[in-house]
Structures are given as structure tokens and as C-alpha cells.
Chains A and B, each alone.
Chain A
Amino acid sequence: MEYLIEFKEATYTYKSSFVDPVQALKQIDLRVKRGEFLAIIGPNGSGKSTLARHFNGLLTPTTGEVLIRGISTASSDPEQLKAIRRQVGMVFQNPDNQLISSIVEEDVAFGPENLGVPPKEIRRRVNHALAALNIFKYRRESISHLSEGQKQLVAIAGVLAMKPDCIVLDEPTALLDPFGRRQVLESLKKLNREEGIAVVFITHFMSEAVHFKRVAVMDQGEIKSDGPPDDIFTRTALLKAAGLDIPVSAQLAEELKGKGFPMAPGILHVEELVNSLCQLKSKI
């Protein structure tokens, strides 16, 4: 079958006149299908952001290749690159780096305008994107009056208005408060579920990664593990080696198991832990 995004033995080396070359990506093989809901976790400096910039050709691999629906991001045809950037949208950590207009709806319209979309269609797309992210009521607001979480939703709406097949978000919640984090995560779930858009979400927060259907762990420029969350998060040794946290519920379940209590396998969420404890208690 055709993959949406395909990394084939991709490597990337940063070269600078100040420091020795650093190989940030080593032999990455990664495939993303239509409609996937993927989280990538890893410590600072593990190559996550370098990887993210390969998804739509902001960086191209030093060796190997990255294909977006079969087209190489290293293609020299500007039309093909344009198509790639439209199909795979990017959202960065700090929305202030990404928002360029002063009014919400103008910023969301910027992408489709530059794609040469007819005005009526732009209007339709902007309204749709604002509604999908629940920020329609702020459409005429000045962006500087919004909270950081709302700004991040505007940045996502701007990408959505370009009708992408996939949205890649590089630590979009790192600077947000818990409420803003929840808003962003819930919006992405909805886009994935209702519009079938593939989401690649890069994060440090394990409590966020547990919400995804697939989790890839990066460390030292390699993908160390890739699978469903209940599989990944029970590999405590791997996560600890990468300096990552294990979700609190999983840690508690593990500790209780160590004390001889027969806990259910694969506990990740608070509800699962509480249910397992209820069952246990009713048997005692």
C-alpha cells in the first residue's frame, strides 16, 4: 500500500564552522499511514525536532530519503515541494513564531491565500477551520489579546485551512498551562477522528503521549521503539534509559505489583488503575 509519509534509511548531519559535525538522525525508517495518531517522545537533543523538520522538507536528509505520498522531499520541482508543504502542515512550539497577521481570521486565511484558492473557498475554509477548533467566536479578535493556548489553536487552524493530510506538531504544548494543553490535545483528537487527518505529535509529556494510538520513542538520533502505548509504556527499562518518565498510574501499578498485588496488565490511565484496584478489593 502507499504510505502517506515514508522515511527510508534517512540520516541527517548538522555541519557548522563552530563545532564538529553532529549526526542528529541515524538510519531512520518510519512509515505513517493516512489517519494515524502518532506521538513521538524523547529527551532534549534526541533528534525529535530535526525529525519533525523532515516531514515536509524544511530539512532534507543527508543520506537516504523521505517520501510524501511517494514524492521525495529532495525533489527539485517547486510544484512538487509546494504540494508536499500543503499536504503536511507544521505547528511549532511557540505560536508567536508562526502567527503573522494581527487578526485571527486573517492569519488563518494566509495559507489558502498563498495557495491561490478562490476568495469564496477561502472564506469557507477559514470558517470551517475556526469552527473545528472552537475559536470561531474569536475570529475578529486581535491575536495579541488571546491566551497562549488560544494562539496555538489559531496556528493549528491556519494549517487546517490548507487542507493537509497530516499535521506535524513540534512540542506544541510545552509553553502552555494545563488548560491550554488540554484544549490543544482535545482539538487534535477531534480533527483526527472527524476529519481523518493524520497527526504526528512531538512531546515531553508522557501524560499526553498515552492518549495516542501509536508512540515512537527517540533517543540519540534513533527510533528505539515504536508501537501501541500500552506496549511502549510498560517497557520501563527503555524509557528510563532515555531519561523519560513513566506515566504515574503505570508507576504505581508497577510498585504495587512489586509488593505482590495482582494488578491488571498494561495500566496507563488513572481510570484503569482505579478499576483494577476496585476489582482487587472486591476479591479480598
Chain B
Amino acid sequence: MPIEIENLNHTYKEGTPFARQALFNISLRIDDGEFIGLIGPSQSGKSTLSQYFNALFIPKSGRVFIDGKDTADRKTDLVQIRFEVGYVFQNPEHQLFKTTVGEDIAFGPTRQKCSPEEIEERIREAMELVGLDYETFFERDIFALSGGQKKRAAIAGVLACRPKVLILDGITAGLDPRGRKEILNVVKKLHQEKKITVILISHSMDDVARLVDRIITMDQGKIVDDGPTRKVLSRVDRLQQIGLEPPQVIEIMQQLREKGFTVPTGVLNIKEAVSEIVKMLNTPGGEQSWN
């Protein structure tokens, strides 16, 4: 189910002295099976925009089509859209509200009027996908979960609705490097095996560099860049201008270039950087002349 946005504007507290426009004339299209990183500094409009992706916001100015259906059309089944486009919020505590993990994950499919057998099957599948052991965690109290486990439980609750699109807002914030890797591996698996369209909203350039195919960069309510990961991340000046830091490997390549070495800046991981640096060291000369 593709998502199409046309000339979208959003203003908070419209018509009051506190009105603040958060989105300016946004147009974009997200196709099935894409893996997208949505990046930008705080308050750039990322979360506002993504709440249009599953019709939590309905446009007053501009249009949003999800699977070809206009979300502002009264005949569109918004509840169905929200089941199909799952949203995982930054703070899992805003999302988990039942007492136990099992009850929480069951909530979505129960609303979808699934049979008890179907609900049971979906809970098992969702818990397995996020790596929470069914026997251990099904009856576990939400309060007895660690930060990383809560995030997994929140994702499982959304997966149990069998979404076609998954929006993940800051899911790695507050997790340690190991927890981050584990949760991102879960996301990668969902994209590859379940063919779910994933939109990853993140502050971590290293995370998006490692995973996504396409990056949309936002600043002050506008889209300032949109393209393949390698291309967007290698535009170091543009990222720094809006207060983002390129992945460190790219910063290293950039500084080497400033010292006059001929290396490409578009590297996405340590392996690629090492191979480029070795190539540079083994090339006789290799330095551009300064004068």
C-alpha cells in the first residue's frame, strides 16, 4: 500500500496566537517494500509528518492517499488504515497499557475481531519475530521489563495487527549498543522476510547508514533532501548545516579529502572505509597537489 502526500501543510494551534506551522508544502511518495530513513533535528517535523502516514492526522491543507484512498474522504476506513500502517512510538510506555505482555499484544487482533485461535497464533508469531520467548514473557508484568524488552513488546503489539507498513519513531533511543543492534536486526528481518515497508525515524546517522535504502531529510518543516542513502549521507555540508552529524566513517573520509587525498566520501561502514583507505595508501602519489 503506497503512501502519497501532495502539498501537505500542518499548523499546530491554528487560529490561536500560539499557532506554529510545522509542515510546509510537503509532497512525497513511498512505495511498497521501501526501507526509508526519516532524519532531521528535533522539531523538524518528522513526527508530525509521519502521523499522516497512518491517518492519525487528517490533512486540512493538501492531500494524503494511503493505498489510493484519500484519508480526508469520509468513506475511507481509517481504522483499517491504522491496522495496516503500524506506528511504534519513541517511548514504549506511551504505547503499552495492559498489565502483561500477552494481554498487551492481544489488544490489536482482538479489536480486529480475530478468533481466539487466530489471536493466539498472532501473539506467538509476533513474539517470535521480535525475539521475546513466548513461555518466558507471555505472562510477564510490563513493569518487570527492561527498556529494550519494552520496545520489543511495543513492536510485537503492532506486528500482531499484521501491518504492511511499519513506522518506527526513535526506537533505538536510550538503548545500549548491543540492544540497538538487536532491535535493528529485528527490523531488518521484518523488512527482508515479511516484506514490510519500514520507515525509520532516527537521530542516529550510524543506524540509518547501516540499514536503509533511501533517506528523507527534514528541517524546519520542509524536505531538504531525498535520495539513496549513500548520496544523502555523503552531502556532509548539507547535513551539518541543519545540525546533523554524518556517520563518523564519512567524516573521516571527508577530512582525508580536505588534506588532499583522493578518496570517495560515500562510504557506509567500516569495511568500506578500510578498503578505500588501503587503496589510497597503496596508490603511489595519490595526493592531489595543493598548488
A binding-site residues for B, Cβ under 8 Å: 18-19, 42-45, 93, 147-149, 171, 174-180, 204, 206-207, 243-245, 247-249, 251-252, 255-256, 259, 261, 270-271, 273-274, 277-278, 280-281, 284
Contact = CB atoms under 8 A, between A and B. Distances in A.
A274 B252 contact: yes
Contacts of B147: 44
Contact of B252 (A178, A245, A249, A259): A249
Contacts of B41: 177-179
Contacts of A206: 177
A281 B177 contact: no
Given A149-B42, A256-B278, A259-B278, A274 B248 contact: no
- Residues of B in contact with A, size category: 35 or more
Given A44-B176, A149-B42, A243-B177, 10 more contacts: A18-B141, A44-B179, A147-B42, A178-B205, A178-B245, A248-B248, A255-B270, A270-B248, A270-B252, A284-B281
Contact of A43 (B177, B274, B281): B177
Interface stretch (B94-102, B109-117, B121-129, B254-262): B254-262
B243 A44 contact: no
Contacts of B244: 177-179
A270 B251 contact: yes
20 contacts: A43-B177, A44-B178, A178-B41, A179-B42, A204-B175, A204-B177, A207-B248, A247-B248, A248-B247, A248-B248, A255-B270, A255-B274, A261-B281, A270-B248, A270-B255, A271-B255, A274-B259, A277-B277, A281-B281, A284-B281
B174 interface: yes
A245 B280 CA distance: 26
A252 to B, nearest CB: 6
Given A43-B176, A171-B174, A176-B42, A19 B245 contact: no
B286 interface: yes
Given A180-B42, A255-B270, A281-B286, A248 B179 contact: no
Nearest to B181: A243
B146 interface: yes
Contact of B243 (A179, A247, A248): A179
Q: Which 5 pairs between the two chains have the least Cβ-Cβ distance?
A: A243-B178, A179-B243, A248-B248, A43-B176, A245-B177
Contacts of A278: 259
Among B146, B177, B270, B273, chain A packs the most CB atoms within 10 A around the CB of B177
Nearest to A284: B281
Contact of A44 (B146, B173, B245, B251): B146
B144 interface: yes
Contact of B174 (A149, A174, A251): A174
Contacts of A45: 146
B207 to A, nearest CB: 12
Contacts of B274: 252, 255-256, 259
